[in-house]
Amino acid sequence: MRLLIIFIVILVTTSCNKDTSNPQNQDETYFTSTKWKTKKGDDYPYREKLLDSVVYNDTIRELDKEEIITLLGTPNRTSNNFLYYTISEKRIGLWTLHATTMVIKFVDDDTIEWIKIQE
């Protein structure tokens, strides 16, 4: 019985080790400006995984418009006091079937009023 318990403990502790030598095992949800701005073809491969770390980040919400553009890059679209960042798109050819966009609304003094996800 004692041998069985020792075996289970060893099995559990060795199976929980994370291989950090492989860069693909690194935390992909950790926000960096470089990852956010990365574009491959028409897609942004990291934005979907990084979205929560932007939308729910109090430090980012304290930035002004110029600082947001420096951090997140040029938005895909702008309109008055709104910045639109494409997160993901499902397409067939040229037609967009579904799109996820992060929208940032600024008040007149260029501070953030809200950040929302539009689908």
Domain boundaries, the chain: 29-118
The bridge status of strand 82-92 relative to strand 77-79 is: antiparallel
Q: Measured in Å, how far apart are the chain's first and last C-alpha atoms? A: 56
Q: What is the per-residue pLDDT for 93?
A: 82
What confidence tier does 21 reach under pLDDT thresholds 50, 70, 90? very low
Asked whether 71 and 60 are in contact (CB, 8 A), the reply is yes
pTM higher than 0.95? no
Looking at residues 37-45, what average pLDDT do you find? Answer: 91
Q: What is the per-residue pLDDT for 30?
A: 82
Q: What is the per-residue pLDDT for 117?
A: 92
For residue 20, pLDDT beyond 90: no
Q: Does domain 29-118 have CATH number 3.30.1450?
A: yes
Task: Quick: pLDDT tens for 51-72.
Answer: 999 999 889 999 999 999 999 9
* Greater model confidence, 15 or 87: 87
Task: Report CA Rg, the chain.
Answer: 20
Q: What is the per-residue pLDDT for 109?
A: 84
